[in-house]
Amino acid sequence: MNRSHMCVANVQYKKPTERGEKESGGLLGYLTYRESHDEQARHAPGRERWEDHGLGHSIAEITERLNALRSQHVLMFSLVYNVNPDLIAMVEPQQREQFVRELTVKTTEAFFEARGIDSGVEYAFVLHHRQTDDPQAPGQHNPHTHVVLPGTVYDDGLGERVPLYFNQNRQVDHIALLHNLTESQMAVQMDRYVGRGWEQRYDALEAARTEERLSCLEPAHGTFIDHDLEIPFWCGERQVDEDTSDVGYYRAVDDGIEFRPLVRHLKVEHARLLLQQLEREMGGNFNELHHLAEIVNELDEQDRDDLFDRLRVLVAAQPLDRDHTPDLSIDF
């Protein structure tokens, strides 16, 4: 896999101005009380939201420390560690929070050690358990952390605090250093939490998705109208993880092809059975595809099991032929 896709680590800062102070307060409030723009915090009573590493464990404490430790040009730095959802999905659910917290602490402290800041840097972080809003794969668990840092750091040699900075130039690129350390720590933790075959498992998942997109090289199943444009579509599937797939459609977009799920979280075998039947039944009609998908979504667990048992028999008896209209059909 491309290891730069393992985890995103971004850096931003707020200036020590009236506007910067207001933005800083708003950000701290958002990080404390939200998981994402659409989700309120799932906060356990009796447990502090912020993990304190010298900067505080509440909005009031962190704000006070940031003001006391500001530099002339920076009130607050903020980092984000966002693990690839396909990788965190390989980690056991009960271990994911520990995984992301460990990644945050070890990478942050290794970063400043690599920069020669032996005294360390005060920081605090909060962990969010948001769901992905990627239209191709919505609703995946996406735990990530937001780290808050002050504008200055204590210099042992000078015996005083000096401005903290993040250079990004040809001589010194602290952002590249942060990314490299994040990737290294991710690999160490994936080996320990998942096992040494995790990279091959990820490559296999990506290969399956690439193969699923090959259906778009064939003539489109039909078209639909979107904002007065006629859009080609292909009924298709997209493997979500090693055990489950979504069924829906691929659509042409300006920069290529994108998937949109209609029936989600199916066993891989069930997704392939349903896909073949939807291709048979929809007759190239986009609205009919949506209608059939809605029917499947409304089935309870037992009715779904019965449906897939019947589809298994039907597909075995009559393999899919896109140029032939079948005599058999399933009563959804």
pLDDT at 46: 46
DSSP 209-271: HHHHHGGGGSPPSEEEEETTEEEEEEEEEEE-SSSEEEEEEEEEETTEEEEEEEEEEEEHHHH
For 273-307, write each residue's pLDDT tens digit: 999 999 989 999 999 999 999 999 999 999 999 99
Per DSSP, helices labelled H in 37-141 are 59-68, 85-88, 96-114
Question: How far is residue 265 CA from its own chain's centroid?
Answer: 16
Share of the chain above pLDDT 70, in %: 93
Domains of the chain: 3-196 (3.30.930), 213-317 (no CATH)
- Listed residue (160, 159, 158, 145) closest to 69, CA to CA: 160
- Residues 108/184, Cβ–Cβ less than 8 Å: no
For 88-133, write each residue's pLDDT tens digit: 999 999 999 999 999 999 999 999 999 999 878 999 999 999 899 8
What integer best gives the mean pLDDT of the chain?
90
For 215-240, write each residue's pLDDT tens digit: 999 999 999 998 899 999 999 999 99
Cα→Cα distances 44→37, 48, 62, 146, 243, Å: 19, 8, 20, 18, 30
